[in-house]
A = this chain, B = another copy of it.
Amino acid sequence: MGAKAGTKAAAPFPAQEHDHGHCATSAMDRAAAICAARGVRLTELRRRVLELVWTSHRPIGAYDILAQLGGPDRPAGPPTVYRALDFLQENGLVHRIASLNAYIGCPDPGHAFAPGIMICEECGRAAELHDSAADNALSRAAAAAGFAITRRTIEMVGRCRDCAAQAA
């Protein structure tokens, strides 16, 4: 795809008052479809973990998920959650944010490259950024250095549009 068509800036950060319940359930539907298509099992546990990731509208840590999984009486173990998260990552349904040790739901699975992630340090929300110009530039530069990329992490910390507007 070309650099022009590749830049996709459509509402990366959802509006503060958007219907988050809706986008979570539609994400679950997409996830079910993807798992069916790939012949992998979106089990009850995995579904619940994915829901928790989506229900939080900001990056959520593994131990936050853990705390919400089993209730206070019957807590789940860390491997339970990490295995589910691994599965969801492998299938492109969530992204891990290395600089936060946290996870977000992927609103748009099926991209060739992992997206860049923008993290607002004021409101704490995170959003994806797909930009083929940057993808291409990075790939070219790495190739020029003789480096073959297999996996990529791009994370940006800053201030989102809403927070900037509110500050003004």
- List the interface of chain A (C-beta within 8 A of B): 3, 6-7, 9, 12-13, 98-99, 116, 118, 120-121, 127, 129, 131, 133-134, 136-138, 140-142, 144-161, 164
Contact = CB atoms under 8 A, between A and B. Distances in A.
B158 A155 contact: no
A137 B154 CA distance: 13
Contacts of A150: 121, 157-159
Contacts of A131: 137-138, 140-141
B147 A158 contact: yes
A8 B154 CA distance: 19
Contacts of A155: 98, 152-154
A150 B13 CA distance: 17
A12 B145 contact: yes
A27 to B, nearest CB: 20
B148 A140 contact: no
